[in-house]
Structure 1
């Protein structure tokens, strides 16, 4: 019993001695030097712990420091400042005079990452650690109410993340590290998780497995693979990104995406390799709206430009209509006067089938180009309207509504072409060629077509004019008063050749040099038609060549001028007396606009 009492007294004495000695063991200068040394080793920056140091015994053994700064003065140029640093120490290490950090907590830290006018960053990781001098782990680091600021004087770009909270758990060198961070960037909350198998290799040189995810309302992103740190940072792993709304994603990252308003959902996945200067996404699976394709893409990213090159092959793809092309290619608040600035693209597209409004195409081969603030969709070839289609479409990229296009159609079914304009009383049947050079600039999307300008032509051989019976006219040329509109627009006429030429000014088509040849009859036509209202204001002349009169070798010619009014669905034929000469169409015809 006596021995037990003596042992208890000794233990109590030791505890009391340790407790009384703690203020001396917890030397603020000693611990301060240890913390500054370790943080300097990890950050590659000078570390200064200023302000008052307070010893804490509850709920853990540690010290609290105020006015923390990593990096040189002044404070605005420091890599990190914090209002308070809470340090938890390992009790056993304190007793042996070599205090070891168990955890750190930064209160309202402000990280400032800057690139000066010479391109030099203000941060530098310690890459000089030798195998016999490993970087020690950081233990558990937690952050509350943090801010990250980024500025680049070369590109004049500034970014800021606020409301940062999270943890970095790296027990010691040689063990894995886990990072869990949440914050707000450009008005959207996000969560990020990173797990590194060999974090020391990421801070110095070497290779480490890495799992990373980013989750926010505009985007879901993940990477699972390896990162190699040498003179460059190299990636080799599986990458996936999904944006439920391409427009919202483009606005969030403040980077342009061509026709983002038309794409809706955007998703990319594949094998990511390469460096930060040039990343390659092999075995790419791409979802653009409802279309799913495969291919290979490369990305070159710097402060001022994102360059995307590659190929994508789709089974089926939906392309924008001319009216939809009038929308801007992205949000108007993306940096720069042109919303395609900061982006370069050369992506080759192919599809077994494609649609653009009512136009159906097969075996599409096209390219999407974006360069110097301009976007261009180039259709090298496609099968459409039972013929071939090729051309270019260029949406405006200056936040205005509009487009320009140059479309060539060869060997097409003219009846299908007429059907694209809509149902009408008059149509064409047969094969032919067409070309349309169109452009539009409008204040709002609903009037893009009414502001249409350009020119077009349609030609064909040995076809049928459906809905017009020219024979009903030719039989009554001698007595035009007996020609009824109902007889003219009831039936059809086979023609030998047909040529239609027109130009468009502010949504109104003006016909010139339009000619139809039917056996011994030639029809010429001029006038105008409102493309939206589809009304007709046309006039022309019918010439019929007849056999020469008895005793004459000169064939006789019968001529009759006429008007066509009404609408495309309900036209009205009005014969005129032969002594009324053809003039211009009703009202003055403006000069044809340039489509160059």
Structure 2
């Protein structure tokens, strides 16, 4: 027979089970009668400071989590007479405390917003404004924290921060829209994430994913003292953004006071600079062919100026170092500084700041300089080795400038073709339209190397010399520029040779009095004492002022025009013999010329010139000796 103690234990356990069962059975009844939607709406409003409306009756679940599901929930500003919702959600799931429910109270820590919409106000300048309330526990907590910061900005008393328990807010399949008087436009879609803050004075974290400008984006924010940031104080923060076009991160401290300040390490990486610009739509830079780009540096400064120190920059796999300064207090952002690279593609770099000819693109494409109204740029650049298309350069010093309608890229000094090169390209918007200017000065260079790089296959001087090119014209598009350019071309070479000219074969073909292609007499090399060229360019047509090659026995000259349109040639020229004398100890005797005087006409095109002998007698050019 069971002992009295055993029987009492059985009755105690049975009573406990009955009590638990009764409690579970009572919760839905109590919840359905006391935890009504008005109480839940009141509690949500007490936290947010907004008017909360719930259309349907809460649906209460007991297992596995005590949860109230609300439908058609809206939060509006108390002062908004129109009652336009700031936040609305198709459904909100709130996890409740069963013990609090038994006493008729609402106590919840986690809220799940299903398909919410957050509405931001579109400002006149195109920006947006976050909604804010003038009441609510969150607002009052921020005000208390703000007072704590104001009492001692340098070392605020963190123990004085409010310690109200908060919890977590999860949002699923949400979106963010910007609202104006005319309409609303969607900024973010498919927004899913979670904001966790166990207590207002504890560490907080936000994770979210969404779609912005058609690309999936993931962001993470965490701080040990997020309330200090909301109150305008200073706190550490770790932030990251990940997407296909770009990834960025920041690890440091932010001061959200009147003189907002940042200090930390930042990094940005993009596999395609062009794609990043097209995606972010800043309207700042032209469509650039730059490939991958990365920047890692220490960033310090405030909202008006950021100093980017020890910047490690990589463009298309070419690493560089430098210091940059970003000013934000003017009408447009201004970026200045210096960058030094070991190797660099100059055309790719220049295309980031000036509307260069697109690779394999149409020369009829319009040259757009409107980006120069939205940024000021002043960069100084150096590179130990560089390329500009097929041209190899060394010890390069260059500058890139963009400001108020001007876009310019200048190579102030570089080693190339065995000599020194200076070059510049500028686009300057004038009332009459964009004007373009291109300059090249190549000094003490190897003519053969220069000709090969320039794609010159005919009559290339081999020797040391100087080349100068100046072109100016309307910059509507590249064809317009070249078809209407004005300027000059000059070249001077010393002792050397002219590649691609067999003088004996040339004289023989002219003696036959039949026209022939220059390719037919290009199998030799002509030694020369010097070569000189001067041409004036007017409206896209080059007028040869002087073109002369001097050999030990003759002088070869050309005159005429070379238009850009049609790539045609209309030149006349001649080969004149020099008078050679033989000297002895007592007399000087003329010697018969080694070259027969010959006149000829050069026609055809740049790529396929032909020669036609002239019957008329040879007349020395005005520049002849």
TM range (shorter): 0.7 to 0.9
Residue 349, structure 1, aligned to residue 381, structure 2: yes
Map Cα deviations across residues 369-414 of structure 1 (whole Å, 9 max, x no partner). Answer: 222354221222222222222232246999x999742222223222
Residue 134, structure 1, aligned to residue 134, structure 2: no
Write the distance in 1 (CA, Å) between the matches of 2:103 and 2:436. Answer: 77
1:498 corresponds to which residue?
532
Write the distance in 1 (CA, Å) between the matches of 2:565 and 2:83. Answer: 61
Q: Decide whether the 8 Å contact of 1:77 with 1:112 is kept in 2.
A: no
Cα distance 1:100–1:279, how it changes in 2: closer, same or farther (>3 A)?
farther
Secondary structure of 1:129 counterpart: helix
Cα distance 1:226–1:581, how it changes in 2: closer, same or farther (>3 A)?
same
Moved more, 6-15 or 380-389: 6-15
Q: Decide whether the 8 Å contact of 2:502 with 2:524 is kept in 1.
A: no
Secondary structure of 2:278 counterpart: helix
Residue 162, structure 1, aligned to residue 189, structure 2: yes
Secondary structure of 1:33 counterpart: helix
Q: CA RMSD in A?
A: 4.6
Q: Decide whether the 8 Å contact of 1:474 with 1:544 is kept in 2.
A: no
Q: Decide whether the 8 Å contact of 1:468 with 1:490 is kept in 2.
A: yes
Q: Decide whether the 8 Å contact of 1:480 with 1:576 is kept in 2.
A: no
Map Cα deviations across residues 536-569 of structure 1 (whole Å, 9 max, x no partner). Answer: 5421244556499xxxxxxx99975332356778
Secondary structure of 2:228 counterpart: helix
Q: Decide whether the 8 Å contact of 1:543 with 1:559 is kept in 2.
A: yes
Moved more, 9-18 or 380-389: 9-18
1:109-508 equivalences in 2 (<5 Å): 109-114=116-121, 116-117=123-124, 121=129, 123-124=131-132, 126=139, 127-130=142-145, 132=160, 134=162, 136-150=164-178, 160-256=187-283, 258=285, 260-300=287-327, 305-320=332-347, 325-327=356-358, 338-394=370-426, 404-422=437-455, 424-438=457-471, 453-460=485-492, 462-467=494-499, 490-496=524-530, 498-503=532-537
1:37 corresponds to which residue?
46
Write the distance in 1 (CA, Å) between the matches of 2:611 and 2:322. Answer: 56
Cα distance 1:22–1:491, how it changes in 2: closer, same or farther (>3 A)?
closer
Cα distance 1:99–1:572, how it changes in 2: closer, same or farther (>3 A)?
closer
Q: Decide whether the 8 Å contact of 1:270 with 1:285 is kept in 2.
A: yes
Q: Decide whether the 8 Å contact of 1:340 with 1:397 is kept in 2.
A: no
**TM-score, length of structure 1 as denominator length:** 0.78
| 2:75 alignment partner, one of 56, 69, 73 | 69
1:552 corresponds to which residue?
none
1:551 corresponds to which residue?
none
Cα distance 1:112–1:302, how it changes in 2: closer, same or farther (>3 A)?
farther
Secondary structure of 1:36 counterpart: helix
Secondary structure of 1:262 counterpart: coil
Q: Decide whether the 8 Å contact of 2:284 with 2:374 is kept in 1.
A: no
Residue 89, structure 1, aligned to residue 96, structure 2: yes
Write the distance in 1 (CA, Å) between the matches of 2:197 and 2:539. Answer: 69
Write the distance in 1 (CA, Å) between the matches of 2:457 and 2:52. Answer: 82
Q: 1:272 Cα shift? A: 2.2
Q: 1:170 Cα shift? A: 1.6
Write the distance in 1 (CA, Å) between the matches of 2:231 and 2:107. Answer: 23
Q: Decide whether the 8 Å contact of 1:307 with 1:344 is kept in 2.
A: yes
Q: Which runs of 5+ in 2 are unaligned?
A: 1-6, 134-138, 149-159, 362-367, 582-591
Write the distance in 2 (CA, Å) between the matches of 1:159 and 1:348. Answer: 40
Write the distance in 2 (CA, Å) between the matches of 1:353 and 1:303. Answer: 35
Write the distance in 1 (CA, Å) between the matches of 2:236 and 2:72. Answer: 36
Moved more, 81-90 or 451-460: 451-460
Q: Decide whether the 8 Å contact of 1:306 with 1:343 is kept in 2.
A: yes
Q: 1:103 Cα shift? A: 0.8
Secondary structure of 2:58 counterpart: strand
